[in-house]
A = this chain, B = another copy of it.
């Protein structure tokens, strides 16, 4: 599956209505609980509308501020074009549902294949056994109404402590991930996937967390195949915590970096 016919593409499709407005549907296939969609999935719908409206194909910076939970049902995206230059185009999007704003997005788009300039990387992709030698996090997990657990597949050298019942106390994890139907990653999917990566704050305590702000930098066009994620949370303060995610592609290149601030609940 490389795009057309994938659930991610089907479930984030947008239809232009009037100038700068797009209609879409939040399905129940990416839910974090009954009737409530994953924030990265809601963001993907806004990014689809932005990509349709702007002249460059790849999101470069994406900042999403989550105002309200995203419910299953019809939504509308209002796109505002902010500036288009020779290298970058900027836009803002409001994801609306029942007249209320769910998510505010500001993004820059570019053509990453045309990016030129120095490269110096002092970091490396997570050192993991290949996916077939890893454990499948999803196996035997009763997702129930957490339908997003069936959409993204995780392969890990060892199951996380929050899954086996012994929290490690260490806010760090490295694993493979991909869409469960095999859809290849592309630059549009990277910010959503960074948000869909399993949280590591669960290693620190029995908490749920709600994202307030998510910022993602897309650094390269990913090669087809699995992504490797490095996820870390080092500071939980006053009920807030950051979650940092690096995504690396099968060619060993950093393709995205994300950071979010979330509230423990």
Contacts and interface: CB of A to CB of B under 8 A. Distances in A.
A68 B83 contact: yes
A34 interface: no
Copies per assembly: 2
A46 to B, nearest CB: 13
Interface string A109-125: 00010011111111100
B117 A238 contact: yes
Nearest to A118: B236
Contacts of A118: 204-205, 207, 236, 239, 264
A148 to B, nearest CB: 23
B236 A119 contact: yes
Chain A interface mostly helix, strand, loop or mixed? strand
Contacts of A92: 92, 104
Chain A, interface size: which category?
Answer: 35 or more
Contact of A213 (B112, B115, B117, B217): B217
Contacts of A239: 115-118
Contacts of A259: 215, 217, 257, 259
B237 A63 contact: no
A204 B120 contact: yes
